């Protein structure tokens, strides 16, 4: 059974969602992300994907106090991403309560540092984010096109020792238009033996089933929860 991982995206300390990674298309859903996280936990959820969007834009961890508070009042296993570019950022993330970190830009722009983190913390603690638009990887909070094929990127990440990859099709993110199942099927057909975590476009329970049928074992869900398209009570079969 596929596992659903709810997402909380943070700007200015608030729970928000963007559309297509566009910071100008911000919707605030809750002023207190830690209360959202607590509701998730009360519904039986064990994992959380927490994204510091200010950090992604500024190139350094910004909203670590939100991470700290969520990790203090819940027992959620948190993977934290956004702005993790240096040793100090990853230290802050783990010290603030992250169980794992997810990072995309460093894996592309500073391979030496990324490999150092993999060696120091282990592949179970480091999730690579390979986010794509038109099958090309985007970095720096999706503001920059790397020009690298998503297929080549993931192959190289696995060679470096990565075992977990979050893949978001940016054209689907925040759209509620359905997930990039064809991309996931093709990736898992071409590249073997890694955990592909799907993200973006989930609008209903059937989308979750479709992603599972594409071969993914985990899926991140955000806007559909905040817009009431999927109720927390409906997620019980997926809270493995």
Task: Check whether 32 has a pLDDT greater than 80.
Answer: yes
Q: What is the pLDDT at residue 131?
A: 84
Give the pLDDT mean for 189-215: 95
**CATH number of the domain that residue 191 is part of:** 3.20.20.70
Q: Give the tens place of pLDDT for each residue, 3-20.
A: 999 999 999 999 998 876
Q: Return the pLDDT at 210.
A: 97
- State whether the Cα torsion 37-41-43-47 is positive or negative: positive
Element (H, E) at 87: helix 87-95
- Annotated catalytic, 173? no
Tens of pLDDT, residue by residue over 100-152, are: 999 988 888 899 999 999 999 999 999 999 888 888 887 655 555 667 899 99
In this prediction, residue 134 carries a pLDDT of: 80
At residue 174 the predicted structure's pLDDT band, cuts being 50, 70 and 90, is low
Give the C-alpha distances (Å, rounded to integers) separating 217 from 122, 226, 235. 20, 23, 15
Query: H or E segment at 168?
Result: strand 164-168
Catalytic residue at 131?
yes
Higher pLDDT, 107 or 81: 81
The whole-number pLDDT of residue 143 equals 59
Domain extent at residue 73: 3-238
pLDDT(162) > 90: yes
Q: Lowest-pLDDT range, 131-140, 174-183, 191-200?
A: 131-140
- Per-residue pLDDT at 67: 98
- pLDDT exceeding 90 applies to what percent of the chain? 76
Kindly name the residue from 54, 79, 89, 131 that is annotated as catalytic.
131
Contacts of residue 76, Cβ cutoff 8 Å, sequence gap at least 6 = 37, 40, 41, 45, 46, 47, 48, 70
Helix%, strand%, coil% for the chain, nearest 5:
40, 30, 30
pLDDT recorded at residue 140: 59
Please state the domain count of the chain.
Answer: 1
Q: Looking at 65-69, 131-135, 157-161, which range is the least confident one?
A: 131-135
Q: Average pLDDT, whole number, for the chain?
A: 92
């Amino acid at each position: 059974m596929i596992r659903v991982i709810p997402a909380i995206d943070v700007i200015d300390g608030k729970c928000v969602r963007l559309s297509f990674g566009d910071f100008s298309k911000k919707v605030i859903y809750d002023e207190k992300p830690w209360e959202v996280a607590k509701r998730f936990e009360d519904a039986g959820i064990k994992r959380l994907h927490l994204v510091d969007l200010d950090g992604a834009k500024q190139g350094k961890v910004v909203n670590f106090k939100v991470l700290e508070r969520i990790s203090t009042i819940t027992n959620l296993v948190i993977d934290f991403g956004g702005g993790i570019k240096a040793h100090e950022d990853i230290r802050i993330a783990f010290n603030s309560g992250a169980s794992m970190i997810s990072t995309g830009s460093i894996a592309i722009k500073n391979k030496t540092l990324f490999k150092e983190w993999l060696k120091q913390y282990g592949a179970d603690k480091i999730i690579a984010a390979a986010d794509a638009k038109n099958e090309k990887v985007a970095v720096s909070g999706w503001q920059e096109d790397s020009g690298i094929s998503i297929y080549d990127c993931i192959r190289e990440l696995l060679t470096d020792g990565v075992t977990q990859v979050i893949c978001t099709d940016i054209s689907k993110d925040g759209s509620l238009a359905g997930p990039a199942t064809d991309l996931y099927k093709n990736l898992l057909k071409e590249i073997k033996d890694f955990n592909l975590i799907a993200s973006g476009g989930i609008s209903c329970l059937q989308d979750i089933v479709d992603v599972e049928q594409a071969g993914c074992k985990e899926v991140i869900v955000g806007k559909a929860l905040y817009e009431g398209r999927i109720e927390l009570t409906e997620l019980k079969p997926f809270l493995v």
